[in-house]
Amino acid sequence: MELHFLGTGAGMPSKERNTSAIAMKLLDERGTVWLFDCGEATQHQILHTSIKPRKIEKIFITHLHGDHVFGLPGLLSSRSFLGGEDTLTIYGPTGLKSWIEATLALTGTHLTYPIDYVEAAEGIVFEDEQFIVRAMPLAHVITCYGYRIEQKPLLGELLVEKALALGVPKGPLLGKLKQGHDVVLETGETIYSANVTAPVKEGFVVTILGDTKLCDNAVRLAEGADVVVHEATFDAETAHLAASYGHATNVEAATVAKEAHAKNLILNHISARFLPNDIAKLLQQARAVFPSTYIANDYAQFELRNQEFKHLE
């Protein structure tokens, strides 16, 4: 799994940062990409990456402020031009569906694929055999959600040589054992999957929070997460402004990660008031509270593989 930051700014685009959008690349896990928020010019940002819009399977919208949704109509249209045919599922607050449908209708935009809309609410918004996605409301000036993405436990690797030594023939029975099923040989002997597979591996947990001031639900969503993505619109010196605007500081984001016993924190949604030479100070302030903190710039990539987290250069 990789997180590819397409926009890390706050409120409006700047020379340094575009508006909010994060791609979760699940190419190894399911061959698709999930997008979290889609600010203005997200598709322009995608042009500078290897991401293929037709591979975007799901879009999760945290809230309906323009810097998180104004890129949707263009991206949806371009996905058609670029060969998108598979169903796209869009999750988000009440009103998102009607806004998208009205925009597409008024502009005469025809899509070559169907869209499924899921209205976000507290609880599980998606679940299949691989993942569970939970949503909880945050504390912003309008309805806003955070999402917790949980990968279900992974089956252990099949110990092929051990299975063959126990008399399992090459073929379908090996596949059944790998899938966790016990099998019976022609001799009548039962071979137990647990005896010929490595231990089950825990899946990853990633929490992506929308705009929010410091709140309990942010901590709940981030509990024990491998990676937490949290906004940091303000810093310690401007903390008096944060709550009134429904936003958080870098130090408050670090506090959420610390209280949640998370493993890694990535700060984004950085105000344009902070220039490139301010970033080191922002990071230092946050790391004083939660050492494993990173700040995302546009196009930054982070990888989580086999429980190992790293910032890709």
Helices 279-287 & 250-259, crossing angle to 10 degrees?
A: 30
CA distance 8 to 185: 56
Q: Which helix (H) or strand (E) holds 157?
A: none
CATH topology of domain 2-154+201-303: Metallo-beta-lactamase; Chain A (3.60.15)
- The domain limits of the chain are 2-154+201-303, 160-195
230 is in an annotated binding site: no
CA distance 103 to 95: 12
Single-letter code of the amino acid located at 199: P
CA distance 289 to 285: 7
For the chain, 313 residues long, give each residue's pLDDT as a single digit of tens. Answer: 999 999 999 999 999 999 999 999 999 999 999 999 999 999 999 999 999 999 999 999 999 999 999 999 999 999 998 888 999 999 999 999 999 999 999 999 999 999 999 999 999 999 999 999 999 999 999 999 999 999 999 888 888 988 898 888 988 888 888 888 898 888 889 988 888 888 888 999 999 999 999 999 999 999 999 999 999 999 999 888 898 899 999 999 999 999 999 999 999 999 999 999 999 999 999 999 999 999 999 999 999 998 899 999 6
Answer for the pair 237, 271: CB distance below 8 angstroms, yes or no: no
Half-sphere exposure of 232 (CA within 13 A, CB side): 33
Interior angle at CA 253, CA 263 and CA 49, nearest 5: 75
pTM of the shown model: 0.91
Answer for the pair 210, 144: CB distance below 8 angstroms, yes or no: yes
CA distance 312 to 301: 5
68 is in an annotated binding site: yes
State the CB neighbour count (10 A cutoff) for residue 244.
Answer: 9
247 is in an annotated binding site: no
Q: One of 28, 37, 67, 116 is an active-site residue; which one?
A: 67
269 is in an annotated binding site: yes
Q: Which helix (H) or strand (E) holds 4?
A: strand 2-7
Interior angle at CA 175, CA 171 and CA 178, nearest 5: 140
Burial degree of 306 (CB within 10 A; 0-12, 13-18, 19+): exposed
Tokens representing residue 286 in the block = 């946050």
Active site residue 67: yes
48 is in an annotated binding site: no
Answer for the pair 213, 239: CB distance below 8 angstroms, yes or no: no
Identify the CA nearest to 253 among candidates 242, 160, 77.
242
Q: Which helix (H) or strand (E) holds 94?
A: none
State the CB neighbour count (10 A cutoff) for residue 217.
Answer: 18
Pairing of strands 2-7, 301-305: antiparallel
